[in-house]
Structure 1
Amino acid sequence: MTSLPLFSKVSSLIAPQAFWWSTGIEDTFITEPWPSTGRILDEYELTGHYARWSDDLALVAALGVKTVRYGIPWHHVEPERGQWDWSFPDKALGRLIDLRIDPIVDLVHYGLPPWLKGAYLNPEYPDRVAEYASRLAARFQGRIFWYTPLNEPRITAWYCGRLGWWPPFRRGWSGFIEIMMAIARGIVRTVQAFRATDPDILPVHVDATDLYETRDPALTDEVERRQEIVFLALDLVSGRVGHEHRLWPWLLKHGAREEDLAWFQENAVDLPFIGLNLYPMFTKKRLQREARGRFRIRQPYASGDLVAQLGRLYHARYKSPLFVSETASVGSVAKRQRWMDDSIASVRQLRSEGVPMVGYTWWPMFDMVAWAYRQGTKKPADYFAAMGLWDLNPATLDRTPTPLVSSYQTYVAGGASAVGPLNFVAR
């Protein structure tokens, strides 16, 4: 890729004939042990990817995809502050480049190195993550152009700040906002580091999507507020959170400072691509009232139209090219196949409407270990989530192909024709 103005680079990737089929390997890294079990959560270790990385990347190539979302374990790259070990990214990312597969590199997927005390609330976090990003970008300059600064900032803030399950173990909405502000600042600093290191880099901002609904008119305001919170990370980093923002009073009420919010407006970054992480079993949220007057959230299994609903929402708000950056269904092969077919049909519908949906990612490529493992006591195989194109053998961790492999290969081989033309007019 040669150096081009940002608009030209983006435009070349949203041409009618362009569509990126992709996959990825679950790469959650939580390095802090759960107090009662002593367990950490390193998906690459639990699924055997560290040992099988070469074979796994050969499976990626066998799908025919030209793009893969791929995470780098910062805690291994920088095991002690200032001590760098590039052996894993050198061999894994180098192999993808040799295979002519463009990685979208996940810099941070929830977890941080243990030496970064206080995790996201360490005052040095924004500078440390920017340094990490800059060093990696410089190492692969001219070879890798797509990076995700931080996967799912909202979910990170939820588990680290609202639930208190991940470091630094804050709880409540004030904790959520405190973590979110720190995460968003780190994202901005990372993008700034990319610009200074390699102007050819295109940041790919990926967050978890939720679609809120209710059948109770009394909960309409809460549904609207929750839906706005879904967009908060992207709104912050792109400088959209001003006095007129619907969440402004709520943010100040729960501890955000006006000067910090102003910093994001002064340092706003572009959103050249937005990745939507969505799952039929998690993404739809229905608020309802309990007998005692409190409300609770249910997660009904969604139809394939979920993709179209979310694509329209994000396009209306940001006008950026979109791609499905994670999706899969848990369950039988037949259930996974239905979701694949229905969700891809929904992508086709969006493109016919002129929504610039430019890619689709089946994630994870093979089964993952559910996050409950860290807090549980059973063996890892008891936490396998059947979501992949390949299943994991519980005894050997061998990757067992399912009929989904050939189905996905067929879609990938169809290129953009498998999802129809993009009737998009640049604005």
Structure 2
Amino acid sequence: MTQTLPSRSQLHRLTAPDAFWWSTGIEDTFITAPHAATGRTLDEYELTGHYDRWYKDLGLIAELSVPCARYGVPWHRIQPDRATWDWTFPDETLGRLLELGIEPQVDLVHYGLPRWIEGAFLHPDYPKLVSDYAARLAERFRGRITWYTPLNEPRITAWYCGRLGWWPPFRRSWPGFVALMLAIAKGMVETVKALESVDPRIVPYFVDATDLFDTDDSELADEAKRRQEIVFLALDLVSGRVDDRHSLWTWLLKNGASEPELAYFLDSAVQLPIVGMNLYPMFTQKKLLRDAGGRFRIRMPYAGAELITRLGHLYYERYRVPLMISETASMGSVRRRLSWLENSVEATRQLRSKGIPLVGYTWWPMFALVTWAYRQGRRPVTEHLAQMGLWDIVPDPADPLRRVPTPVMEAYMRLVRSGLEGVGTLSDASSRVSMMQ
């Protein structure tokens, strides 16, 4: 296949060894299907009040002095039915980011789709629908926006839609996971083609969740290896790495994939100009074990910043492209968040000193998110807030979704302004937190 590649100058600007992109973003999960028992949907922008506060929220991003920001656009509002398009929200919000001198890293799909797409990612027209939507958006911002994420966390999307059955189309099996993964990956490939046909200067930004699977049980060693290979499956598919020599080839065929479906990816491989790693100390480390009753379990122990070192080496050795930490944060107290910021940034600096082209760092989310359990629960939004941000959401009688800056915000702002060399200044914020307690 003949690929249309991003211009050399544009790609170099984003991924040059001396480039470093500080970023942040607002959680933008959009699950538009109502839960069968509660009737609730999960639109993070609605639940955190961002649709009403977007102008002020984007102003908070500008306070940090970050050069770019991951920002999701709600496809379900842009295209409420197949024949209707409303570009008001992206025109206003992306336009405002550009006015502020912040380059949008546009998140095109973040887990959910418009409700009218029956079968969600398994709708036979999904690749065409998503690529058409992407092309129309890229055309509106041609020459002004460079970064586009075709789909955030394809593996997690396939897991929740195809294996756990939480989200449409509600499959609950490994064959369901494989079917979703193939459909999602094909949509990503077609999206990249569409974007590059509109503007060859566009640099697709591939973002996925990064997990590290380990076990001390020799009987689970093969399963841990397979789970680790599945972590890379989406990127391997879209970049044409899955052939009959791939470690998951037989497993994919066993779980419903056909050879013609897999051949599509070999024939239509796209370049990975930059890979984003989503990683969290409370989620990313996975330990496979059996409990006292012999049942298979996965535990998630809180990890240290060494997971960044391990992941940086794993991803670079596999793909040999520039990397970016596209999401990271710690949940809980300000002290814990500050500690993770300091340790994770130091790990980033150390990786770069060893020649790993880690070209950016994103604290995500910039303010509290609403936990996914909200959709199937009945408690109010304010009881589902996960405080992981640079700002907390602290309800009060006058404003139930008030944004309150924390010392983490101050520390991050100083880092952005001083560069990686400013990692040592974080101890000042930690000292202030100690005095406050």
Is the 8 Å Cα contact of residues 6 and 203 (structure 2) preserved in structure 1? no
Which amino acid is 1:258 matched to?
Answer: E
Mapped pair 1:399 → 2:400: no
1:413 aligns with 2:417: yes
Change (3 A) 1:127 1:233: same
Structure 1 contact 277–325 (Cα < 8 Å) conserved? yes
2:228 aligns with: 227
Distance 1:15 1:369, change over 3 A: same
What corresponds to 1:198 in structure 2?
199
Alignment partner, residue 425 of structure 1: none
Q: Note the 1:35-46 alignment, pairs <5 A.
A: 35-46=36-47
Verify the 8 A CA contact 1:330 1:386 in the aligned structure 2: yes
The CA RMSD measured in Å over matched residues stands at 1.4
- 1:424 — aligned with what? none
Contact 1:216 1:288 (8 Å CA) reproduced? yes
Query: Structure 1 residues 61 and 305 mapped into 2: Cα distance closer, same or farther (>3 Å)?
Result: same
Shift of 1:394: 2.4
Q: Which residue of 2 aligns with 1:174?
A: 175
Q: CA deviation at 1:416?
A: 5.0
Give, in angstroms, the shift of residue 4 of structure 1. Answer: 8.8
Give deviations 1:393-424, integer Å, cap 9, x for gaps: 2242110000111100111012354479xxxx
Q: Displacement, 1:16?
A: 3.8
Name the structure 1 match of 2:271.
270
Amino acid at match of 2:27: E
Q: 1:341-380 to 2 correspondence within 5 Å? A: 341-380=342-381
Amino acid corresponding to residue 118 of structure 1 in structure 2 = G
With 7-16 and 208-217 compared, the bigger mean Cα shift is at 7-16
Any idea what the Cα deviations from partners look like across 1:203-254, whole Å, max 9, x if unmatched?
0000000001111122111110000000000000000000000000100000
Instruction: Kindly provide the amino acid, as one letter, of the partner of residue 303 in structure 2.
Output: A
Range with greater deviation from structure 2 (286-295 or 343-352): 286-295
CA distance in 2 between counterparts of 1:268 and 1:71 reads 25
1:82 and 1:151 map into 2 onto residues whose CA distance is: 25
**Over residues 145-175 of structure 1, what are the superposed CA-to-partner deviations in whole Å (9 max), with x where a residue is unaligned?**
1100000000000000000010000011000
Q: Give, in whole Å, the separation in 2 of the partners of 1:86 and 1:15.
A: 33
Q: Secondary structure at the match of 1:375?
A: coil
Asked if 1 retains the 8 angstrom alpha-carbon contact of 2:17 and 2:357, the reply is no
Quote the Cα distance in structure 2 between the aligned partners of 1:283 and 1:304: 11
CA distance in 2, matches of 1:249, 1:418: 48
Code of the aligned partner of 1:383 = H
**Alpha-carbon distance between aligned partners in 2 of 1:5 and 1:322, rounded to the nearest angstrom:** 17
> Structure 2 length as normaliser, TM-score?
0.94
Q: Aligned ranges for residues 11-410 of structure 1 at < 5 Å?
A: 11-395=12-396, 396=399, 397-410=401-414
Amino acid at match of 1:406: E
SS at match of 1:199: coil
Give the Cα separation in 2 of the matches to 1:310 and 1:326: 13
**CA distance in structure 1 between the partners assigned to 2:161 and 2:297 by the alignment:** 21
In 1: Cα distance, 2:135 partner to 2:100 partner: 24
| CA distance, structure 2, for counterparts of residue 173 and residue 4 of structure 1 | 34
Q: List structure 1 runs of 4+ shifted beyond 2 angstroms.
A: 3-17, 290-294, 415-420
2:422, 2:234 → 1: CA distance? 32
| Cα distance in structure 1, aligned partners of 2:242 and 2:298 | 26
Tell me, yes or no, if the aligned pair for 1:209 and 1:310 is still in contact at 8 Å.
yes
Note the alpha carbon deviations across 1:330-376, whole angstroms, 9 max, x for none: 00000000001111111011101100000000000000000000000
Q: Give the direction of change, closer, same or farther, for the CA distance of 1:314–1:4 in structure 2 (3 Å limit).
A: closer
Give the distance between the partners of 1:5 and 1:227, measured in 2 at CA. 30
Q: Does the residue aligned with 2:375 lie in a helix, a strand or coil? A: helix
Determine the C-alpha separation between the residues in 2 that align with 1:367 and 1:84: 30
- Segments of structure 2 that go 5 or more residues without pairing to the other structure are 425-437
Contact 2:5 2:271 in 1 (8 A): no
Aligned residues: 418
Match of 1:149, as an amino acid?
A: P
Name the CA distance, whole Å, in 2 between partners of 1:200 and 1:401: 36
Contact 1:206 1:275 in 2 (8 A): yes
Distance in 2 (CA, whole Å) between partners of 1:117 and 1:205 is 26
Hey, what's the Cα distance between the residues in 2 that align with 1:29 and 1:14? 30
Match of 2:431 in 1: none
- Are the aligned partners of 1:16 and 1:416 in contact in 2 as well (CA < 8 Å)? no
Q: Deviations over 1:66-97 (max 9, x none)?
A: 10000000000001112100000000000000
More deviation, 43-52/389-398: 389-398
1:84–1:15 distance in 2 versus 1, CA, 3 Å: same
Cα distance in 1 for residues equivalent to 2:395 and 2:6: 49
Q: Identical aligned pairs, as a percentage?
A: 62
| Comparing 289-298 and 111-120, the one that deviates more | 289-298
Amino acid at match of 1:210: D
